Amino acid sequence: MRLRCAVLDDFQRVATEIADWSPVAGEVDVVSFDTHFADEDTLAAALADVDIVVTLRERVSFPGSLIARLPRLRLIVASGMRNGVIDYAAAEAHGVTVCGTASSSTPPVELTWALLLGLARGIVQEGNGLRGSGPWQQTVGADLHGRTLGLLGLGRIGGRVARVGLAFGMRVSAWSQNLTRERAEEVGVERAPSKEELLRTADFVSVHLALGERTRGLLGPAELALLKPTAYLVNTSRAAIVDQEALLAALHEGRIAGAGVDVFDIEPLPAGHPMRSAPRLLATPHLGYVSRANYATYYGQTVEAIAAYLAGSPVRRLPVPAAPSQGPVPGPAGSPAPTMS
């Protein structure tokens, strides 16, 4: 009997075009869904006759309750090598193999700078004004050269964002709970003495931390109150790192100059969500990982993972066993964990 594979959240309808699925075409029928299933009942019904599921990042949760409702499910392939919304114990108990793919840090680095530059120079407002025959020149841009970029997290993505800031002639400082002086020196940036000092002194703050117990709600009302009224905040990591109500209040009250956000507490954002109409906000629909090269990697390695599973030799199984602890390690381990976008 042929197997059935479902690709979730294929919003751009490119999953079967951007990669070569012919290696598994003889055994697998592929169906992609370009809409998001927002609740477990709807998702369970859509996947009732599915043997293989392909899921993007952490957009769809696979708790034990869902896995138990999918008796045909045998393989989950998730993009990236970390996924915190899959119940691995339940998957193992039900005979479901979970595999991952590689993921490039380049797209989120580039999007971070697209948001930061868009905010600094009022690109959207000015572009819309020009196209709509509005005022000629409405904003006065914020300079980058000589200004301070504060990075929360200096791992794989934060380190690359830092180097771009240095190329712009910015003073760059960084902070995280685990950031070492050696890591900061390796990248060529200052190690802020505290999170509070970084927030007080930065003209632009960009978040590059993984979401965990120590980072959830890291920027709440008290922390956002430390930002200069001329400062900008960019978050391409995880929405829950920043208190969303506090951020909305700061934007509406004009307590910060603006924010660039690519991640939200609910995705996709419902119609009428406050983030869709907040002032001083440049928002994108979680585009951090969305690029042609990254998608080619995701779906190309998905095909490879399916073929390997069918051959009885699964590749890139998740969760990846943790390496034995050897104390603090400089380099990307300088922040709590690699950021996923």
Which residues belong to the active site?
238, 267, 286
Alpha helices in 6-148 (DSSP H): 40-46, 64-67, 88-93, 106-120, 123-131
Distance (Å, whole) CA 206 – CA 213: 19
H helix or E strand, kind and range, residue 156:
helix 156-167
Q: Are 246 and 221 in contact (CB under 8 A)?
A: yes
How does DSSP assign 290-331, residue by residue? --HHHHHHHHHHHHHHHHHHHTT---SBSSPPPPPP-S--SS
Distance (Å, whole) CA 171 – CA 105: 22
Burial 130-146 (b: 16+ CB within 10 A, else e): eeeeeeeeeeeebebee
**Residue 131, amino acid:** R
